[in-house]
Structure 1
Amino acid sequence: MKKGIYLLFLIVKEKISIKVGSLGTITFSKGLYVYIGSAQNNLEKRIDRHLKKDKKIFWHIDYITTNPHTEIISVMYLENASKRLESTIACNLSKKFSKIKNFGATDDKTCNSHFFKLI
């Protein structure tokens, strides 16, 4: 079982509004997004879970990945990468791209988003 970090590249096919747990209703415009996350036990299993449409909603990203108007188009991952690197990448992305505040970042004290609109 390997730990690591991953990036999910998703397309939102049309404008959608989704209630995302405690974050409330968020509107996502059509476009390309990236989510950065980590798995401390089994990276492959975590990524496989994200690729499934039919699953119990547990993380913020699940609200997006279960929506019929979204599609994961690519995944990048780094085995044995630290949560610190996950946070560093998220902070760097937040300097260049629009972010959804507090999305996917409940355990990150440095960066307040792990979900970004690229185009």
Structure 2
Amino acid sequence: MEDSGIYALLIRCDGVTIRVGALGELQFDRGYYVYIGSAQRNMQKRIARHMRSDKKIKWHIDYLLQHARVVDVHTVSAPKNCEEFVAIELGKKYRYVPGFGASDSHAKSHLFTGIRDNLWNDAISLMRRCKND
């Protein structure tokens, strides 16, 4: 796993309605979601934090992960702007949760839902397109 770059979490949700910070109450349908994030250092620690259940709520994704589970992770060494590129491109093709994870981004969201394999493969493909060599 890279120490810095961008990552995608494949998340399975059984369906839940929860309050997500300033976004308010959101309904998450049963299915698979992909979250796109970045870590400019210590990416392994960031991923490990996402996997823990005993954490202080800091980001939008923390709210969802209290009620859903990460089933796969993909990382690439890439510049931070690649995170936004991937999120914008996924938003053109997949349903998304408006504003989720996008507080500091021009993307409409960083959380997407769709058919598991299609969504996951598209996310990985986009990440690979802009990775560092």
* TM-score (ref. length: structure 1): 0.91
C-alpha separation in 1, matches of 2:96 and 2:60: 14
Asked if 2 retains the 8 angstrom alpha-carbon contact of 1:55 and 1:66, the reply is no
Quote how far apart the aligned CAs of 1:2 are.
2.5
Aligned to 1:75: 73
Aligned to 1:35: 35
Q: Secondary structure at the match of 1:87?
A: helix
Q: How many residues end up aligned between the 2 structures?
A: 114
* TM-score (ref. length: structure 2): 0.82
Residue 111 (structure 1) aligned to one of 107, 111, 122: 107
Deviations 1:7-44 (A, max 9, x none): 0000102x210100000000000000000000112111
Residue 89 (structure 2) aligned to one of 81, 87, 92: 92
Q: Secondary structure at the match of 1:35?
A: strand
Q: Secondary structure at the match of 1:53?
A: coil
Aligned to 1:66: 66
Give the letter aligned to residue 46 of structure 2.
R
Quote how far apart the aligned CAs of 1:47 are.
0.4
Give the letter aligned to residue 94 of structure 2.
F
Deviations 1:86-110 (A, max 9, x none): 11110110011001011001111x2
Q: Secondary structure at the match of 2:92?
A: helix
Give the letter aligned to residue 118 of structure 1.
G
- Between the aligned residues of both structures, percent identity stands at 44
Query: Which stretches in structure 2 are left out of the alignment for 5+ residues?
Result: 116-133
* 1:7 corresponds to 2:8: yes
C-alpha separation in 1, matches of 2:99 and 2:80: 17
Quote how far apart the aligned CAs of 1:3 are.
1.5
> What value does the CA root-mean-square deviation take over the aligned residues?
1.2
